[in-house]
């Protein structure tokens, strides 16, 4: 899945999701019609969430990591 992000000044719009980057780029002209000429855009690939069991999540939460700075 892909997401089209358009930043126009201080406003950021997220449009999608799309099945392919081609579908997102095909829709880009329609989205940019409502934006200023200086709008910037980018197409992001969305990651699929992992299916993790509750016991696995609890096990990773109990793992303590210590960092030392010298």
Each residue of 1-43: pLDDT tens digit?
Answer: 899 999 999 999 999 899 999 999 999 999 999 999 999 999 9
Q: Considering the domain boundaries, does residue 66 fall inside one?
A: no
**How many structural domains is the chain composed of?**
1
Q: Which domain holds residue 55?
A: 2-61
Which value, to the nearest 10 degrees, does the dihedral of the CA atoms of residues 39, 35, 21, 16 take?
A: 120
**pLDDT tens column, 57-68:** 677 666 665 556
User: Do the beta carbons of residue 29 and residue 6 sit within 8 Å?
Assistant: no
> What does the alpha-carbon distance between residue 45 and residue 15 come to, in Å, rounded to a whole number?
12
Domain-embedded: residue 68: no
């Amino acid at each position: 899945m892909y997401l089209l992000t358009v930043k126009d000044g201080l406003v950021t719009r997220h449009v999608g999701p799309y099945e392919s980057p081609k579908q997102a780029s095909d829709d880009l002209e329609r989205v940019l019609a409502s934006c200023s000429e200086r709008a910037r855009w980018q197409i992001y690939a969305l990651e699929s969430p992992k299916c993790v069991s509750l016991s696995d999540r609890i096990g990773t939460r109990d793992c303590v990591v210590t960092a030392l700075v010298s």
